[in-house]
Amino acid sequence: MNLKHCLCFLLILILTSQVKGQDRELTLFDLNYSFDKIKNDTINGHSNNINAFINAPLMYNDSTLLAMKLEFGGRYQGNLGDYFNYNVFQTDATFLWQKKMDEKNNFALIIKSGFYSDFQDISFKDIRYGIGSYYNIKHSQKFATGWGFFYNKQFTAHQITPLIFLKYNFHPKWELYGVFPVKPKLTYKFTDDLKWSIELDGKVDSYRLSEKEYDNSIFEHSVLFGLSSIDVLVKKHHKFSFSLGYTFRQDMKYYHDQAANNWKLFIFDVSENTQPVSYIKTKLFRSMIRYSFVL
């Protein structure tokens, strides 16, 4: 089994409203930490965010790939008032089935499910899921396109994300790559071991809080931000990334326990049949550090 070929699913893996593992290297393990200063006229708080994932192929032959991604995330919030002063976590699995139609075309089906809560009293109510599909066309070694969708069952809403995939090496040192409009990325290669990139990222996550303390209320976090990053590759497999950026939009909402009857397109509300009990809207600077083990 060719492990590098097995891990090619990272190039099209779609998670909730974003694509992970967009680097040209194939990532086996990733750990990142980011810090957000959350401040407006009424609050002066912060959040520390930790995320880690492992990728593993389950089955591979000449035409079919089955792969899995295991992920853990934690968001540690402080000084944000009565409705937002808690920590939330996620642990989930994503499965990808990819069918190679011919040398240029492939189709993929993605299913994701996991627990999203404060982990105080875990139950089946804490489970969220998503499903999507993707069709990819390789036009040449320098140019590939594709399209698809992802449906995410948030606790607060039905989230629909149409996707357009693009990979374009328009210069030996420049590459435009990613899924539009969720996560486009422009990269400049100084050397094989040193790269600079700029990217846009947007996502929505919702978490069910403790039944005992919060009566199954829901915390929703949506964010749209840009990052400028320097990537340093050490001994071919250890990649360190240092990023600075700006969050153009961050919404934090607190809902009482409810059915998901709102609708979202990308990260934006299309309908709000249920209004939040409390919310925070901010714009802020953010920083991130990341370690990845790559092939």
Domain boundaries, the chain: 3-294
Q: What is the pLDDT of residues 158-217, one digit of tens each?
A: 999 999 999 999 999 999 999 888 789 999 999 999 999 999 999 999 999 999 999 999
Inter-residue contact 64 to 98 (CB < 8 Å):
yes
Q: What is the pTM of this model?
A: 0.89
Rounded distance, CA 270 to CA 265, Å? 6
Q: What is the pLDDT of residues 70-99, one digit of tens each?
A: 999 999 999 998 899 999 999 999 999 999
DSSP 34-70: EEEEEE-SS-EEEEEEEEEEEEEEEEE-SSEEEEEEE
The amino acid at 138: K
